[in-house]
Structure 1
Amino acid sequence: MRIIYPRACFPTAKIAQRQPGDGASSPLSFVSLVPSLAMRATVATALVFVSSVLAVTKPIHSHNDYTRAVPFWTAFNLSVMSVEADVWWQSSQLFVAHTSGDINRSKTLQSLYLDPIMGILNGSRAVPTPISVSNPIQLLIDMKTSGSSTFPPVAAALAPLRAAGHLTTYDAATGTLRPGAVTVVGTGNTPLASVLAQNPPRAPAAGQTWGPHIAPLASVDFGSVASSAQMQELVLNAHDLGIKSRFWNTPAAVGTWNAFWAAGSDWVNADDLLAVSNAWAAFSGALVPTRFEYTGLDAQKALERREL
Structure 2
Amino acid sequence: MRYLLSLVYLFTLSLSGFAQPQVFAHNDYEKPQPLTAALAQKADYIEADVFVRNGKLVLGHTPAEADTSKRTLEGTYLKPIVALFAQHKDRVSPDRRYTFSLSIDAKDKAEEVLPLLRALLEQNLTVFNRNMNPLAIRIIVSGNRPRPEQLLDYPAFIFFDGRPSELYDDETVKRVALISDNFRSYARWDGTGEIGDDDKAKLKRIIKRAHEAGCPIRFWNAPDNPVAWKQLRKLGVDVLNTDKVAECVAAVK
TM range (shorter): 0.7 to 0.9
In 1: Cα distance, 2:2 partner to 2:251 partner: 35
User: How many angstroms does 1:216 deviate by?
Assistant: 2.1
Matched-pair contact (CA < 8 Å) for 2:84–2:93? no
The one of 238, 246, 260 equivalent to 2:210 is 238
Task: Provide Cα deviations, 1:209-233, integer angstroms capped at 9, x if missing partner.
Answer: 3654232210011112242233233
* Equivalent position SS for 1:107: coil
Distance 2:53 2:92 in 1: 36
* One of 193, 200, 209 as aligned partner of 2:169: 209
Match of 1:303 in 2: none
Corresponding residue number in structure 2 for 1:29: none
- Per the TM alignment, residue 130 of structure 1 is displaced from its structure 2 partner at its CA by 3.7
Over 6 Å off, 4+ runs: 52-55, 124-128
CA shift for structure 1 position 123: 1.6
Q: Does 1:191 align with 2:146?
A: yes
- CA separation of 1:63 and 1:77: change in aligned 2, threshold 3 A: same
Unaligned ranges ≥5, structure 1? 1-43, 171-177, 201-206, 282-308
Query: Which residue among 118, 124, 127 is the counterpart of 1:155?
Result: 118
SS at match of 2:2: coil
Distance 1:55 1:135, change over 3 A: farther
SS at match of 1:213: helix
Q: Please say if residues 135 and 181 of structure 1, whose CA atoms lie closer than 8 Å, have aligned partners that are also in contact.
A: no
| 1:129 Cα deviation after fit | 3.8
Q: Which residue of the partner structure matches residue 30 of structure 1?
A: none
- Secondary structure of the residue aligned to 2:176 is coil
Aligned in 2, Cα 1:71/1:186: closer, same or farther, shift over 3 Å? same
Which structure 2 residues correspond to residues 1-308 of structure 1 after superposition, within 5 A? 45-46=2-3, 47-48=5-6, 49=8, 50-51=11-12, 59-103=22-66, 104-123=68-87, 129-130=93-94, 134-162=97-125, 164=126, 166-168=128-130, 180-192=135-147, 194-198=150-154, 209=169, 212-226=173-187, 227-281=199-253
Letter in 1 for 2:79: D
* TM superposition shift of 1:180: 4.8
CA distance in structure 2 between the partners assigned to 1:166 and 1:279 by the alignment: 30
Contact map agreement 2:84 2:91 (CA 8 A) in 1? yes
**Alignment deviations for residues 50-83 of structure 1 (CA, whole Å, 9 cap, x no partner):** 3379865551111111110111111111111211
> RMSD over aligned Cα, in angstroms?
3.2
Higher relative contact order (CA 8 A, sep 6+): 1
Kindly indicate whether the alpha-carbon contact (under 8 Å) linking 1:84 and 1:140 is maintained by their aligned counterparts in 2: yes
Q: How many angstroms does 1:160 deviate by?
A: 2.7
Provide closer, same or farther for how the CA distance between residues 194 and 87 of structure 1 changes in structure 2, counting only shifts above 3 A.
Answer: farther
TM-score where L is the length of structure 1:
0.63
Partners of 1:249 and 1:82 in 2: CA distance: 16
Q: 216-225 vs 259-268, which deviates more? A: 259-268
Structure 2 residue matching 1:94: 3-state secondary structure? strand
Q: Which residue of 2 aligns with 1:15?
A: none
Distance in 1 between the 2:49 and 2:16 partners? 21
Percent pairwise identity: 24
